[in-house]
């Protein structure tokens, strides 16, 4: 399965590939530079398909990861438990709801494009999803990085969604943070662990 924003990119690349094949078949010489160009365009199509892949997932128990990647931080203050996941360019880039939720509002904040693995990147351009859940207020944040600068939303305020459903994606990596009520959730992952969106439990509800 391919993620929603992939259409125009893959379509353009496939059209270019088809035009090159047609030109080669009709008029152009079949020499190595042209064959190399065909190989480059073919590799580009394969890379785009891999980047925009969106595999089906079996929803895991408890509160699940919103993104594929590696846990880069698990910390808390008096009110919030924060679990931060860093996505690299080879990870699936589609993001999923960590638990059943209604989207209250979505807002964009921040400035700059610092490397997403640095703590200061929490001030980057980012998109906040404010959710109402059985735990109370939960926030999921898509963050840009030094290369990843495109945040895509699939959902709108007022919509209700099930755990594991897709809510958006980030182009070329970066990170996703989940902010949970500290008195209602406890982490079940540690820094450095790899997680899969919609499948891997990252926290459990406290009684």
Q: Write down the pLDDT at residue 207.
A: 87
119 domain-assigned? yes
**41 plus 114 within the same structural domain:** no
DSSP state of 199: T
pLDDT at residue 23, as a whole number: 64
85 and 165 in a single domain? The answer is yes
Residues 103 and 200 in one domain: yes
C-alpha 61: how far from chain center: 20
User: How high is the pLDDT of residue 134?
Assistant: 96
Mark which of 14, 29, 51 sits at the end of a domain.
51
Cα dihedral sign, 85-154-103-196 = negative
* CATH (domain of 92): 2.70.70.10
Within a domain: 1: no
Question: What integer pLDDT is reported at residue 79 of this predicted model?
Answer: 92
184 assigned to some structural domain: yes
Give yes or no: residues 74 and 33 share one domain.
no
Claim to verify: residue 102 and residue 171 sit in the same structural domain: yes
Residue 57 domain-assigned (yes or no): no
Shared-domain flag, residues 40 and 71: no
Task: Determine whether 56 is exposed, middle or buried from the number of CB atoms within 10 Å of its CB (0-12, 13-18, 19+).
Answer: exposed
The single residue of 84, 121, 160, 174 carrying the catalytic annotation is 174
153: which strand partners? 168
Regarding whether 70 and 47 lie in a shared domain, the answer is no
Instruction: Note whether 42 and 98 are same-domain residues.
Output: no
**Number of structural domains the chain divides into:** 2
List the structure tokens of 173.
């990596």
Is residue 92 assigned to a domain? yes
For residue 201, the enclosing domain spans 63-205
In this predicted structure, what is the pLDDT of residue 106?
A: 98
In this prediction, residue 48 carries a pLDDT of: 61
The verdict on 31 and 105 lying in the same domain is: no
Active site residue 174: yes
Whether residues 25 and 81 share a domain: the answer is: no
- Beta carbons of 157 and 181 less than 8 angstroms apart: no
Residues 190 and 122 in one domain: yes
Residue 37 and residue 90 in one domain: no
Examine residue 191 and state whether it is found in any structural domain, yes or no. yes
Domain assignment present for residue 58? The answer is no
pLDDT one digit per residue (tens) for the chain, 207 residues: 655 655 555 556 556 656 666 665 665 555 667 667 666 766 666 666 566 678 899 999 999 999 999 999 999 998 999 999 999 888 888 999 999 999 999 999 988 877 766 777 777 889 999 999 999 999 999 998 776 677 889 999 999 999 999 999 887 778 999 999 999 999 999 999 999 999 999 999 998
């Amino acid at each position: 399965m391919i993620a929603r924003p992939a259409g125009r990119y893959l379509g353009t690349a496939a059209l270019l590939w088809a035009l090159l094949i047609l030109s080669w078949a009709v008029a152009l010489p079949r020499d190595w530079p042209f064959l190399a160009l065909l190989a480059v365009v073919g590799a580009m199509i394969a890379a785009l398909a891999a980047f925009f892949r969106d595999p089906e997932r079996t929803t895991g128990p408890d509160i699940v990861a919103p993104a594929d990647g590696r846990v880069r931080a698990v910390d808390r203050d008096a009110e919030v438990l924060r679990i931060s996941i860093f996505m690299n360019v080879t990870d699936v880039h589609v993001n999923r709801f960590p638990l059943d939720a209604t989207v209250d509002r979505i807002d964009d904040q921040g400035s700059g494009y610092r490397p997403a693995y640095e703590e200061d990147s929490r001030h980057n351009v980012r998109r906040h999803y404010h959710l109402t859940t059985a735990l109370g207020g939960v926030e999921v944040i898509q963050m840009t990085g030094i290369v990843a600068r495109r945040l895509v939303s699939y959902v709108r305020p007022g919509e209700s969604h099930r755990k594991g459903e897709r809510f958006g994606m980030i182009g070329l990596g970066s990170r996703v943070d989940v902010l949970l009520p500290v008195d209602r959730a406890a982490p079940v992952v540690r820094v450095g662990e790899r997680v899969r969106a919609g499948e891997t439990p990252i926290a459990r509800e406290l009684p």
